[in-house]
A and B are shown apart, each in its own frame.
Chain A
Amino acid sequence: MVTLQNISKTYNKGAIKAVDQVSFKVKKGELFGLIGPDGAGKTSIFRMLTTLLIPDGGVASVNGLDVVTGYKEIRKQVGYMPGKFSLYQDLTVEENLNFFATLFNTTVQENYDLIKEIYVQIEPFKTRRAGKLSGGMKQKLALCCALIHRPTVLFLDEPTTGVDTVSRKEFWDMLKRLKDQGITILVSTPYMDEATLCERIALIQGGKIMSIDTPEAIIKSYPSPLFAVKSSKMSVLLEDLRKQDQVKSSFAFGEFHHLTFKENLPENQQSLLNDLEKLGHTCLEMKEITPTIEDCFIQLMSH
């Protein structure tokens, strides 16, 4: 459905490489995630696929149409929700929705079944101006507007950025239901914990793709056993871990610090615990854990 082959984009006459030879495919009906921080190149990729930017190199297609020559047709077939709120702030909820339906030669009634579930949540505010909506409601309205012409492919650029945990969970539930209706979805996010909600993901950093696979497969390919450790003094513990010869990497991770060893030895855990005890750490706790996508991202970044 969506294909990129060695796509590149530079800015400032080549001084900034925003997207560097990126290739991947999104299958029909797939929920595909582009996971990476600000400046990774996610928005440039979205803008090239939605025909708003022309690539400097490589080829890309959406629904079999080339993004450069087939732009008119692509625009009719895709829905795009930009990262920055781009609806008309001075129009009401209802007016925005009608406006976007009209642009695509359709009506709200014709495709109401597709947006109904989302729209009923903002319907009580349909006469309110879009600029006066809360963050969560703006996000729902923007999604309705991106869906109103029944697109076959949906591009969502950081739809959950700055949104609290509860609204983020609700939003992902909505995406799953859209996917169940056969819509192909390409979504980007800087939140690593959202990666596991996608069927396949690409981890992206500095314009380059570091890994593409299912979240499970990326986690499985983590190169060494990963351990979590905590003690009564966490900030001192992190400094001490970094001084230990047998420790390869260590970084803070919520309640615990995560670490890997240089060599994979059975006595690793016990010998490290002994060393840390000698350094005065109390309430030590250590266990082997399954890596998260964030662990994988940190590991890939160190290359």
Chain B
Amino acid sequence: MKNVVIKTDKLTKKFGDFIATDAITFEVYEGEIFGFLGANGAGKTTAMRMLCGLSIPTSGGATIAGFDIYKEAEKIKANIGYMSQKFSLYEDLTVIENIRFFGGVYGLSDKEIKEKSDDLIDLLGLKEESKKLVGSLPLGWKQKLAFSVAIIHDPKIVFLDEPTGGVDPVTRRQFWDLIYEASNRGITIFVTTHYMDEAEYCNRISMMVDGEMKALDTPTNLKKTYNAASMDEVFFELARGAKRQAD
């Protein structure tokens, strides 16, 4: 039996009359790489905010890493990691200061922080750069560092919101090597992306259209179901039915 780490039941969020996320029900398994796809404005961000304990649902429910999103939001936050393209690190702190800061925020002891930061700097090959400001690093390095920092406390789940936007094709693949490594260690990966080749790297993929979860399956099965040669075609087939345009 697979261990379930995310379980939602008709999870819904309304803003006035607008139903941003419309009764989505799904499960994510331990160690899985779960792709969360959808067009702009499909309701992905709203759903992710609820799953991270940052936004209270209008109705429905969910448990994340075994914790209830209504009653145990703080416990959820301690057991997950989060990285987004827009905000992830403090640009005017050095590499080592960022690691220490996030280690502290995630509740690690000084000893753990010391060990973790040494390991991390070795792993990423950032020894020379450890005292440089993060703002001066190339984007690809920032992204790798941001990901490593997001899992510094060995969370059950890490949420990645478009983690690889804008980097070169080689760095993008190195980033996925890090994702695989984390997944092999049992960390569940919940990831959104606009790159359809990356959708193929996921164990299962869900597609949001107009606030609803329209499809959820392995990439192979989705292509079969929609009689499509690529994930790009699957996405196009599902997303072009979308009616709304809000962001």
Contact surface of A with B, Cβ cutoff 8 Å? 36-40, 133-137, 161-167, 169, 190, 192-193, 205, 234-235, 251-255, 294, 297-298, 301-302
Contacts and interface: CB of A to CB of B under 8 A. Distances in A.
Contact of B197 (A136, A162, A190, A253): A253
Contact of B196 (A37, A165, A205, A302): A165
Given A134-B246, A235-B180, A252-B173, A166 B240 contact: yes
A253 B231 CA distance: 12
B16 to A, nearest CB: 14
B194 A165 contact: yes
24 contacts: A36-B168, A37-B168, A37-B171, A39-B138, A40-B168, A135-B247, A162-B162, A162-B194, A163-B194, A164-B38, A164-B40, A165-B232, A165-B235, A166-B39, A205-B168, A235-B180, A252-B197, A252-B201, A254-B196, A254-B198, A254-B201, A254-B231, A301-B168, A301-B170
B206 to A, nearest CB: 15
Interface residues of B, number: 38
Interface of B: 38-41, 138-140, 162, 165-171, 173, 176, 180, 184, 194, 196-201, 219, 230-232, 235-236, 239-240, 242, 245-247
A251 B173 CA distance: 8
A294 B40 contact: no
A135 B39 CA distance: 11
A127 B165 CA distance: 32
Given A162-B194, A190-B166, A254-B200, A167 B40 contact: yes
B235 A294 contact: no
**Sorted from nearest, which 5 A-B pairs have the closest CB atoms?**
A254-B197, A37-B168, A38-B166, A134-B247, A254-B200
Contacts of B41: 134-135
A38 B140 CA distance: 9
Contacts of B197: 252-254
Nearest to A164: B39
B245 A134 contact: yes
Given A165-B194, A169-B236, A234-B201, 13 more contacts: A37-B140, A37-B167, A134-B40, A135-B247, A165-B235, A166-B236, A166-B239, A190-B166, A192-B169, A193-B232, A254-B230, A254-B231, A302-B170
B247 A39 contact: no
Nearest to B244: A134
B165 A297 contact: no
A251 B38 CA distance: 26
A294 B171 CA distance: 12
